[in-house]
Amino acid sequence: MSVTICLSEQLARRRLSLVELSDRTGIAVRHLELLRDQKAVAVRLRTLESLCRALNCTPGELLVIKDEE
Amino acid sequence: MRFLGPRSISSLLKTALDVVYYGLFAMIVAVGIAALCLLSVPTLAAEVMARMKMVAQINGTQQAILMLAFGLSLSGYLLIMRWTRQVFRTLAEGDVFHPDNTLRLRWIGFGLAGVELYSYASRALAEAILRMPVEPVYGMRAVTAWFSVLVVFVLAEVFKEGARLRAEANLTI
């Protein structure tokens, strides 16, 4: 099992781009790309909080556990 | 006083290592030329020694072999210096946990072990073949050499862990 961050889905649902999310959160677009592409190995609580506030969602909606094949 | 980065102690040490590296390189070239001269003119050593009113215990060919063996040992030190310079270059740039430093430190460890083993082998051969009296290596001298090899390997692992943590920090958002 692995924890994945559903940033693409959340962005699509709110019709937001990475640049707009970057403007709202103050997180660099390069870092958001790492999160979107599942390349990040860890997420700070501060980052998670600003993402949740910007996307108006809960951490549970942003992070999901997927079964590895 | 800064220890890492530009204009620091590591930068000063890197310059010192550069001097030692090129000095060693010049020494190896000089020893190689001297050995070749002795091999091509075997009486050269005896003539030079006679002029200096000294007596040689071994003949010219044996002296050339000893010089070549010495040159080979210096080449080992040259390689160790090369890797050490590369490590210190990253330290002088402030890039301490550079991913390549782990491998460089491991090579330094292997190099130090190789030079030590080579010194044992060359001493044994000099004693057996050339009948030269060689002072045995014992006590702290022998222990220090192998401890320094182990310390370098431990440092290599420390740098590996540092590089891993740095990579992880880069991927922490």
Tokens representing A62 are 């942003």
Chain B residue with minimum CA distance to A51: B173
Return the half-sphere exposure (C-beta side, CA atoms, 13 A cut-off) of residue B129: 12
> If interface means Cβ-Cβ distance under 8 Å, which residues of chain A face chain B?
27, 31-32, 34-35, 39-44, 47
Q: Which residue of A27, A32, A41 is in closest CB contact with B172? A: A41
Task: Say how far apart CA A16 and CA A20 lie, in whole Å.
Answer: 6
Q: Provide the CA B124 distance to its chain's centre, in angstroms.
A: 20
C-beta atoms of B172 and A42 within 8 A: yes
Per-residue confidence of chain B (173 residues) as pLDDT tens digits?
788 888 899 999 999 999 999 999 999 999 999 998 888 887 777 777 777 777 667 777 888 888 899 999 999 999 999 999 999 999 999 888 999 999 999 999 999 999 999 998 988 888 888 777 777 777 777 789 899 999 999 999 999 999 999 988 888 98
For chain B, the first-to-last Cα distance in angstroms comes to: 33
Task: Say how far apart CA A28 and CA A15 lie, in whole Å.
Answer: 19
pLDDT tens, position by position, A22-47:
999 999 999 999 999 999 989 999 99
> If interface means Cβ-Cβ distance under 8 Å, which residues of chain B face chain A?
168, 171-173
Q: Quick check: ipTM above 0.90?
A: no
Q: Give me the total of CB pairs closer than 8 Å, taking one residue from chain A and one from chain B.
A: 22
Cα angle A44, A50, A56; round to 5: 130
- So what's the pLDDT on residue B86? 95
CA distance A15 to chain B (A): 23
Torsion of the alpha carbons at B57, B58, B63 and B66, rounded to the nearest 10: -90
Query: Measured between beta carbons, which residues in chain B are less than 8 angstroms from residue A47?
Result: 173
- Residue B13 burial class via C-beta count within 10 angstroms: exposed 0-12, middle 13-18, buried 19 and up: middle
